[in-house]
Chains A and B, each alone.
Chain A
Amino acid sequence: MPRLPLEGIRILDSTYVFALPYAGGHLADLGAEVIKIEGPGRPDVTRTGGYAGSFPENLAGERWWNKPSTYNLLNRGKRSLVLDMGDERGRDLFRELVTISDVVMENFTPRVMRRWGLDYPNLKKLKPDIILVSNTGYGHGEGPYSGYPAQATTQEATHGHCWVTGYLNDGPAKAGASFVDFLSTWSAIFALGAALRYRNRTGKGQWIDIAMYQAGVMFLSEYLMDATINGREGGRLGNRHPYRAPQGCYPARGTDQWITLSVGSDEEWQALCQVMGRQDLASDPRFGDILSRRNNHDELDELLGQWTATKDKYDLMHLLQGAGIPSGPVLTGRDIHFDPHYKRRNFLERVDFPEEREVGSRFLMGRPYKFSNTPMSIRGPGPEFGQDNKPLLRELLGLEEDVYQGLVADTIITDIPASGEASPQMDPARAVELGLLADYDPEYRQRLGLV
């Protein structure tokens, strides 16, 4: 087996929710030993099945906190240590672990690590070349919002995305899922690779300070330039493109099925008319060039929607792409499990859970990239709460059995969360009725070959 890039790197991953936990999961794919650290009374919220995570067969059941879908996707391939960082004994064990680790990741609000004496200057005293990765909503420092609570859903408004997202001539909107978390995920991976290389060459660690808000704003760079230099405020174009026309999302055959397409040049427009069998449109002056197509976009939308509505979304993609026109179907979470391209690229990996987890086998997303020399895969599901307490503390740190049992007795360590409850799951048929789910397919396991 080729050597994975992060082989031999130990990461203490004291992070919660989405952004850095997912970075930790990807770093485990890359070969790192990632130790997820949670508090006895503070299991990661994704363990509750909240934030639209799912339980197997929609049932929480025994030891539900090890089962949710999103928890296992994000935390795949990690080890788990449960440690009360609110207690000095817990912090001491954490400090001992720091001295034998390469990286610490945390996403507490800025004051927490300082209060615990675990901020970068203190960690550096324990391990001079430690790399600390911090992710917060607004970033460390003296800024006015640094202490504000934050999370992706609401930041998407604050960092400007809602202003440019929304139907044409309508108010700002939030996309269905927040994505700013993942800008922190990948900023962390990027920064960590660079920092590890730097450490390898100089022997020096450093502190990586990521702010989700700042990353979100970065992704609107062209709008900021337009505002600063041209005084323009951007705004919402719906599904249209600032320069190409027509572009949109049109109905395809079936219930809630859709096709997108985007036409830029006059040649592409001519090709589209050909594919539609509408030579009359090819010479229609209303659509002859890009400017007229933009000015008459509403009429074009009408014509295109009539043409697409009777055709299968995949047939439309192949037809349009065959003519050189960018096009693709709107794929649902279900669709991608049966899509030949996703299949061929092995984007979804079958992960087999240990039998006692009572989860069986499930498909989880792998990575959006491949390395030619170094094949990677998900190395296992997310760890059970506290599953590695003993090997980490007894074997790695060499704690005596009686000391270990004392920690158990005082709930400094545990494998049962002291708080939290499974997020209530609605009956799927009822959820479909209420418009909270698009569809429910009781045959999913057979269809996916998971039984």
Chain B
Amino acid sequence: MLTGALDGVKVLDLSEDIAGSFCARLLADYGADVLKVEPPGGAALRRMGPFFHDDAHPEKSLFFLVLNLNKKGATLNLETVTGQDILKRLAPRVDVIVESYRPGYLASLGLGFDELKELNPELTVTSVTPFGQDGPYSQYRGEEIVNYAMGMIMSISGVQGREPLKHGGFQAQYEGGLFAAATTSMALFGREFTGQGEHIDVSITECVASTMMATQTMYPFMGGTQVRRRASGSMFGHPMPCQDGWIIVQTGGGASWEDLSEFFQCPEMLEERFADRAQRAENGEELDRIVIESISERGKWDLFPKAAEYRMLFGLVQTPSELAQCPQLESRNFFREIEHPELGTVRVPAELFKLSETPYRLEYPAPTIGQHNREIYVEGLEYDEQQFTQLRQLNVI
């Protein structure tokens, strides 16, 4: 009886970063059995904050915690020959390996896709890297800002006259993780018929680029290049200040320009100089001034349901703590609680989407370093106690 959509899928997660960790977590969330395999000192992500009560301890990285839910954990030093042999013993027992090392690194250890495929023809290796496995930049180093820059989005983010602007947070890395999970799930379905694994090569930069529909296609269709917005006179579609925060309104949707004028209690909007898009662009600064003044005494939480009555495309800028208390997310059961051995009960963002027959489940918190070593090496690979101790002493695990 399968209770998760990916029940029975076994995954080794060798990744130390955001993208690979998120990919493997999503597979775990929907039923896969995921083992996080970390170097003996712990994955690099454990050194990244935020930390529990700001205590920079490898078991207290909240970033590591949230991206490694539902996984078990073991340590393995891939730079030792014994460690490499152990990985080769594990490879035939799993369906998927997720990794995010620099292209060629695992092959240099004798653990490339071609070697592992010999041991397990059904194995899929999902590699998620900044620029992909081949091409002139494949060995270059990525960072969030670099993925954004080279994925085109920075060229149109921010305002004219100032430097291009990246998104806050690590959206590109999360995208890489989600896209990698999606392609892995497709490869697993394909394998049902071919019995063959795949080496999946996900480029984080291309993940960002692939979302830039209008930006990419404009040049080959009509020779234009998109631009960042003007510094003023273009508030529709961008956050504008109200009494207690910011709101955002997009024209269109189910609301006419007349509806917007009524919503803003702003009859001037109906004047001839704002009659169409071109005129609104030309008189944009004046329009912004009128609209922003009209909401200077109104609060975002009053405007939100009002806008819904007008069928407007409306948003309000929420802060992280507002999101943490959001009744809509509550109704969707988005947050769950889990008991962590070091941190106690923590509330985590949990469910990405709903599956009616094989619902999301939260079974484990993130593993502590080497938490399941005994289960993997003694019970699974049948090392005896003496060998198990030796593996530890030799810094293999």
A195 to B4, CA, bound (A): 9
Interface residues on B, range: 35 or more
**Is B336 positioned at the interface, with any CB of A under 8 Å from its CB?**
no
Question: Are the CB atoms of A154 and B314 closer together than 8 Å?
Answer: yes
A56 to B11, CA, bound (A): 46
Chain A min CB distance to B138 (Å): 8
Chain B min CB distance to A174 (Å): 5
Which B residues are CB-close (under 8 A) to A342?
A: 209
A436 to B277, CA, bound (A): 12
Question: Are the CB atoms of B318 and A182 closer together than 8 Å?
Answer: no
Which A residues are CB-close (under 8 A) to B196?
A: 373
Q: Encode A143-162 as 1/0 by CB contact (under 8 A) with B.
A: 11111111101111111111
A227 to B322, CA, bound (A): 9
Which B residues are CB-close (under 8 A) to A341?
A: 131, 135-137
A341 to B142, CA, bound (A): 14
Complex interface residues of chain B between 188 and 239 (CB less than 8 A to chain A) = 188-190, 192-194, 196-203, 206-207, 209-230, 237-239
Query: Main SS of chain B's interface residues?
Result: mixed
**Is A249 positioned at the interface, with any CB of B under 8 Å from its CB?**
yes
**Is B168 positioned at the interface, with any CB of A under 8 Å from its CB?**
yes
A331-B155, A435-B230 given; A163·B317 CB < 8 A: yes
Which A residues are CB-close (under 8 A) to B247?
A: 157
Q: Encode B235-263 as 1/0 by CB contact (under 8 A) with A.
A: 00111010000111110011000000000
A3-B194, A151-B250 given; A215·B144 CB < 8 A: no
**Is A399 positioned at the interface, with any CB of B under 8 Å from its CB?**
no
Question: Are the CB atoms of B165 and A230 closer together than 8 Å?
Answer: no
Chain B min CB distance to A4 (Å): 7
A56-B221, A367-B210 given; A182·B254 CB < 8 A: no
**Is A431 positioned at the interface, with any CB of B under 8 Å from its CB?**
yes
**Is A337 positioned at the interface, with any CB of B under 8 Å from its CB?**
yes
Question: Are the CB atoms of B157 and A175 closer together than 8 Å?
Answer: yes
**Is B380 positioned at the interface, with any CB of A under 8 Å from its CB?**
no
**Among A165-173, A383-391, A407-415, which stretch is in contact with chain B?**
A165-173
Complex interface residues of chain B between 298 and 312 (CB less than 8 A to chain A) = 308, 311-312
Closest to B322 in A: A160
A72 to B221, CA, bound (A): 11
Closest to A181 in B: B211
Which A residues are CB-close (under 8 A) to B197?
A: 373
Question: Are the CB atoms of A330 and B155 closer together than 8 Å?
Answer: yes
Most chain A CB within a 10 A radius of its CB, from B156, B169, B241, B358: B169
**Is B264 positioned at the interface, with any CB of A under 8 Å from its CB?**
no
Which B residues are CB-close (under 8 A) to A51?
A: 214
**Among A88-96, A236-244, A278-286, A291-299, which stretch is in contact with chain B?**
A236-244
**Is A327 positioned at the interface, with any CB of B under 8 Å from its CB?**
yes
Question: Are the CB atoms of A54 and B5 closer together than 8 Å?
Answer: no
Question: Are the CB atoms of A230 and B248 closer together than 8 Å?
Answer: no
**Is A307 positioned at the interface, with any CB of B under 8 Å from its CB?**
no
Question: Are the CB atoms of A173 and B348 closer together than 8 Å?
Answer: no
**Is B324 positioned at the interface, with any CB of A under 8 Å from its CB?**
yes
Q: Encode A369-388 as 1/0 by CB contact (under 8 A) with B.
A: 11111100000000000000
Which A residues are CB-close (under 8 A) to B148?
A: 260
Question: Are the CB atoms of B213 and A174 closer together than 8 Å?
Answer: no
A426 to B179, CA, bound (A): 35
Question: Are the CB atoms of B209 and A436 closer together than 8 Å?
Answer: no
A171-B246, A197-B6, A333-B226 given; A363·B353 CB < 8 A: no
**Among A77-85, A110-118, A200-208, which stretch is in contact with chain B?**
A200-208
A139-B328, A221-B67, A373-B198 given; A153·B146 CB < 8 A: no
Question: Are the CB atoms of A225 and B63 closer together than 8 Å?
Answer: yes
Q: What are 16 A-B contacts with C-beta separation under 8 Å?
A: A72-B217, A144-B328, A144-B331, A153-B250, A154-B314, A157-B315, A160-B320, A173-B158, A177-B212, A177-B214, A186-B175, A218-B352, A225-B346, A227-B320, A262-B145, A372-B113
Knowing that A177-B215, A262-B145 touch, tell me 7 more A-B residue pairs with CB under 8 angstroms.
Answer: A73-B216, A186-B179, A197-B189, A198-B6, A225-B50, A435-B160, A437-B224
Q: Which 7 A-B pairs have the closest CB atoms?
A: A164-B168, A193-B185, A176-B156, A5-B190, A143-B331, A154-B315, A69-B217
